């Protein structure tokens, strides 16, 4: 429902934008991508604690840009940046990064050892506390499901922890159905680091695809 | 060597006994999920209600309290432990480890969450002690092996693994291991899916569609066909269509689906009202799915024989008689 409305809005804006500035739209996309590359890397692969954007779902990325703009994702760096983007620019950026290839070799913050506590929570959840396994929505080995359930594999541990903390404190909200907010709030404080380390240690691409 | 093994087993059993008693004592006030206390009909791991073997007594609290299944790490070493582990593996991914008998994209854990351990979704622990049992579904006494075969034939739209073969033996071993400390013939509070309040209004397809689009479609898709994970691995299961459970599965019954949905969906945040659960259960189970394996060539006769209650099979929905255009049953690879 909302998505239909948003799509119609985007189409309207896009057509207005196209009529007004024609070719300028493509040039500004390159410039915008350069802005993102400063932190997320030239191929959207992520740099340091800044997350990978390459290969994330387009609709997920659009939703995140909207959330930064409307404050549902509180972020001092992203908010002013995104506030200056038009809807059609957000759409174009999301499309651009969603189509960049995922590289197998890249790993998050270089956490080497798979820790048992993090692995257990990720793969099995903790149903005594009604907590599903992370992989039930984020896919086997955290490689994502569809466009809306983002991959976690290979994302920086610090980034994942920060997001979990943001869900818990209310600095991130408004996810579809409130599923992630509910799960994050059910976790214990000392769950965050192990589970974030675990996903950071995984390859974002299947081992078989490496060579 | 053998003597040592026996000693180890005896010691382990003794320790487990102590832990069990302590668990029962500590868990005295475990919440009762069956709000109405009504006897359940036929959940995936449910036999007909049976009288308890022992009358309630002064120790009533201890009869119904349940310390839950043993820790995953407590599976013993040795041949029995190996079989238990095999069962756990099949349970988690029957499409891979019992592929010859699975005809759709579902797995045991889609209905019995947490690999059959979760209290609110018919845990294996609560099913094991209730067999053998008479089942109206096939009108004879079923042992546990036959009950497991039913899951493959109906819920997984496949074929029955042979009795005494590794698949059934391993799943029996896993269930037996999960059920340790339960009492034969004594129904646990967690038996079957939790009860649900009767709907205030008769379940409605139209309201159910709204509930589905607002709460289920995000994961299961607007067309109910589920979503695969990024690499083609299993993601969210299909709820109808050729890759879902067939018209003979327990989950096709409105009441059973409503109880499961109320207890467990949306995953991790099961906050639908009872009415919403009934409505969406009707909506999901008013869609076409693989044929009932008991189909005799006539939808009407099959409906009369097996679908008198809580079933949409044989009913006309959106101008089509459900069951008339069913994909085939038993489609194993």
The domain limits of chain A are: 2-99, 116-209
Lowest mean pLDDT, pick from B2-16, B256-270, B287-301: B2-16
Q: Do B189 and B215 reside in the same domain of the chain?
A: no
- Location of structure tokens 């083609």: B232
Helix and strand tally (H, E) in chain A? 10, 0
pLDDT tens column, B151-190? 999 999 999 999 999 999 999 999 999 999 999 999 999 9
The answer as to whether B33 is a domain residue is: no
Can you state the angle between helices A87-99 and A58-70, rounded to 10 degrees? 140
Same domain, residue pair B186 and B227: no
Are B224 and B182 in a shared domain? no
Task: Flag whether B296 is in a domain.
Answer: yes
Enumerate the residues of chain B whose CB falls inside 8 A of the CB of residue A178. 269
- Is B181 in the same domain as B216? no
Q: Which CATH number fits domain A2-99: 2.120.10.30, 3.40.190.170, 3.10.20.30, 1.10.760.10?
A: 1.10.760.10
Query: Max Cα separation, chain B?
Result: 70
B22, pLDDT greater than 80: no
Domain for residue B200, yes or no?
no
Q: pLDDT band for B46, please (50, 70, 90 cuts).
A: very low
**Residue B189 shares a structural domain with residue B216:** no
Contacts of A130 in chain B (CB under 8 A): 268
Question: Across the interface, which of B113, B228, B230 has its CB nearest the CB of A127?
Answer: B113
Same domain assignment for residues B173 and B218: no
> Average pLDDT, stretch B228-249?
93
Closest by CA to A28, choosing from A86, A112, A79, is A86
Same domain, residue pair B151 and B265: no
Residue B54, pLDDT > 50, answer no
Beta bridge partners of B234: none
> Is there a domain that residue B97 lies in?
yes
The reported pLDDT for the residue numbered A14 is 40
Q: Distance (Å) from the C-alpha of residue B22 to the closest C-alpha of chain A?
A: 18
User: Which residues have a Cβ under 8 Å from the Cβ of B211 and sit 6 or more positions away?
Assistant: B272, B276, B279, B280, B283
Instruction: Indicate whether B42 and B154 sit together in one domain.
Output: yes
Final residue of a structural domain among B127, B158, B193: B193
Q: What is the pLDDT of residue B234?
A: 84
* Residue B223 contacts A, CB cutoff 8 Å: no
Report the alpha-carbon distance of residue B63 to residue B57 in Å, rounded: 9
Q: Which range of residues forms the domain containing residue B156?
A: 38-48+76-193
Same CATH fold, A116-209 and A2-99?
Answer: yes
95-154 in A: which are within 8 Å (CB) of B? 124-125, 127-128, 130-132, 136-137, 139-140, 143-146, 148, 151
Q: Which residues contact A51 (CB under 8 A, 6 or more apart)?
A: A40, A155, A156, A159
Return the exposure string of A134-150: e unless at least 16 CB atoms fall within 10 Å of the residue's CB, then b: bbbbbbbbbbbbbbbbb
The CA distance from B10 to B8, in Å, is 5
Please report the pLDDT score of residue A15 as a whole number. 37
Distance CA B10, CA B45 (A): 31
Residues in chain B with CB shorter than 8 Å from the CB of A2 are: none
Contact list, B68 vs chain A (CB under 8 Å): 128
Taking 50 as the threshold, does the pLDDT of residue B245 lie above it? yes
Together in a domain, B179 and B234: no
- The domain tally of chain B equals 2
What is the rounded distance in angstroms from the CA atom of residue A19 to the CA atom of residue B44? 60
- For residue B44, the Cα-to-chain-centroid distance in whole angstroms is 4
Quote the pLDDT of residue A206.
76
Global confidence as pTM: 0.83
Q: Residue A131: list chain B partners with CB under 8 A.
A: 268
Question: Is residue B228 situated within a structural domain?
Answer: yes
Q: Is residue B55 part of a domain?
A: no
Q: Is ipTM > 0.85 here?
A: no
**More confident position, A102 or B299:** B299
Question: Domain end: B163, B193, B223, which one?
Answer: B193
Q: Residue A200: how many CB atoms within 10 A of its CB?
A: 24
Least confident of A90-104, A127-141, B36-50: B36-50
Are B42 and B184 within one domain? yes
The pLDDT score that the predictor gives to residue B278 is: 98
Cα–Cα distance between A134 and A119 in angstroms, integer? 10
Which CATH number covers residue B187? 1.10.760.10
Same domain, residue pair B83 and B184: yes
How does pLDDT run across A18-64, given as a tens digit for each residue? 334 434 455 478 899 999 999 999 999 999 999 999 999 999 999 99
Overall fold of domain A116-209: Cytochrome Bc1 Complex; Chain D, domain 2 (1.10.760)
- B229 in contact with chain A, both atoms CB, cutoff 8 A: yes
């Amino acid at each position: 429902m909302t998505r239909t409305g948003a799509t119609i809005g985007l189409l309207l804006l896009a057509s207005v934008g196209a009529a007004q500035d024609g070719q300028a739209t493509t040039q500004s996309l390159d410039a915008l991508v350069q802005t993102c590359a400063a932190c997320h890397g030239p191929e959207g692969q992520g740099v340091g604690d800044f997350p990978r954007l390459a290969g994330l779902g387009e609709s997920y990325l659009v939703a995140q840009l909207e959330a930064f703009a409307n404050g549902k994702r509180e972020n001092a760096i992203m908010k002013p940046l995104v506030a200056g983007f038009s809807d059609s620019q957000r759409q174009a950026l999301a499309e651009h990064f969603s189509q960049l290839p995922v590289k197998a070799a890249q790993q998050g913050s270089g956490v080497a050892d798979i820790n048992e506590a993090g692995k257990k929570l990720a793969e099995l959840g903790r149903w005594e506390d009604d907590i599903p396994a992370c992989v039930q929505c984020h896919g086997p080995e955290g490689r994502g499901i569809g466009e809306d359930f983002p991959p976690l594999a290979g994302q920086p541990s610090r980034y994942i922890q920060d997001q979990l903390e943001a869900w818990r404190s209310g600095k991130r909200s408004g996810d579809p159905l409130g599923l992630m907010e509910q799960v994050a709030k059910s976790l214990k404080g000392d769950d965050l680091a192990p589970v974030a380390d675990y996903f950071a240690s995984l390859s974002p691409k299947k081992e078989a695809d490496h060579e | 060597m053998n003597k040592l093994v026996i000693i180890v087993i005896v010691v382990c059993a003794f320790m487990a006994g102590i832990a069990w008693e302590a668990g029962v004592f500590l868990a005295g006030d475990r919440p009762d999920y069956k709000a109405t206390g009504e006897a359940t009909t036929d959940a995936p791991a449910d036999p007909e209600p049976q009288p308890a073997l022992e009358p309630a007594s002064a120790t009533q609290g201890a009869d119904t309290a349940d310390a839950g299944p043993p820790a995953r790490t407590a599976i013993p070493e040795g041949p029995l432990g190996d079989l238990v582990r095999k069962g756990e593996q099949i349970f988690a991914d029957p499409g891979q480890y019992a592929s010859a008998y699975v005809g759709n994209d579902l797995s045991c854990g889609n209905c019995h969450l947490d690999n059959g351990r979760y209290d609110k979704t018919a845990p294996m622990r609560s099913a094991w002690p209730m067999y053998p049992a008479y089942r109206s579904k096939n009108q004879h006494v079923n042992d546990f092996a036959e009950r497991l075969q039913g899951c493959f034939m109906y819920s997984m739209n496949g074929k029955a693994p042979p009795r005494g073969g590794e698949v059934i033996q391993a799943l029996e071993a896993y269930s037996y291991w999960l059920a340790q400390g339960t009492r034969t013939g004594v129904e646990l509070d967690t038996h079957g899916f939790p009860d649900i309040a009767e709907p205030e209004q008769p379940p409605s397809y139209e309201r159910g569609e709204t509930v589905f689009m607002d709460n289920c479609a995000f994961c299961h898709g607007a067309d109910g066909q589920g979503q695969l994970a990024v690499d083609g691995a299993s993601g969210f299961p299909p709820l109808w269509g050729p890759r879902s459970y067939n018209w003979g599965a327990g989950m096709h019954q409105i009441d059973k689906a409503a109880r499961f949905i109320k207890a467990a969906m949306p995953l991790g945040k099961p906050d639908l009202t009872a009415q919403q659960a009934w409505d969406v259960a009707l909506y999901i189970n008013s869609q076409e799915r693989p044929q009932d394996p008991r189909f005799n060539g006539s939808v009407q006769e099959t409906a009369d024989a097996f679908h008198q209650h809580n079933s949409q099979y044989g009913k006309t929905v959106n101008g089509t008689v459900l069951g008339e255009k069913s994909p085939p049953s038993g489609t194993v690879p």
